[in-house]
Amino acid sequence: QMSTNDCQDPPEYWTIHGLWPDKAEECNRTWHFNVSEIKDLLSDMRRYWPDVLHSSLNRTHFWKHEWDKHGTCAATLEVLNSQKKYFGKALELYQHVDLNNCLLKAGIKPSSSYYQMTAIKEALTRFYGVTPKIQCLPPEEGEKAQTIGQIEFCFTKELQLRNCTALKGESALMQADLKLGTEELSVCSDTLPTYYPSQVQ
């Protein structure tokens, strides 16, 4: 989608997609996103939660979407019950998880050779004490490797890390959330070789 939109200088580090309550979407359609409520967070938001697909629209399009769809539901928790708290807490969790640093420390970095998915999972589980959900783009025709696209951490309502075990009937809900062009992310296969690119091609 980079060429059809105006993605400029995509970051070469992991950024935030969102903070999602599991069971609900679009809980309050009258509670509209207002960027002035998060003005104190904007420099961190632009850095760690960039909208790489809608850069010309003042880059707030992605945040509005995440607030409308997920933030209005997360707001049932007191710790997330305003736009400032919702976005601020997501930034805080991002810093706390520190995925970029953790992967580097585990020796997992972008490479032209392939990784075993089980080795990546084990390294993350060892580091965090919980198992995240790793999502991939499936191999394109004629290719044998999947490509890492997203790493999802799961939290309790107290915002403590927990294992991401898919509850029955839940997996389909989360998997279709991010479409890259015509490709969709889905939970990575443990058996396919895995590509971790330095940039999305």
* Residues classed as catalytic: 17, 66, 70
How far apart CA 29 and CA 33 sit, in angstroms, is 10
- CA–CA gap between residue 92 and residue 70 (Å, rounded): 17
Residue 9 near residue 56 (C-beta atoms within 8 A): no
CA-to-CA distance for 119 and 193, rounded, in angstroms?
Answer: 11
Q: Any idea what DSSP says for residue 18?
A: -
Taking the CA atoms of the chain, what radius of gyration do you get in angstroms?
17
In the three-class reduction of DSSP (H, G, I as helix; E, B as strand; rest coil), residue 127 is classed as helix
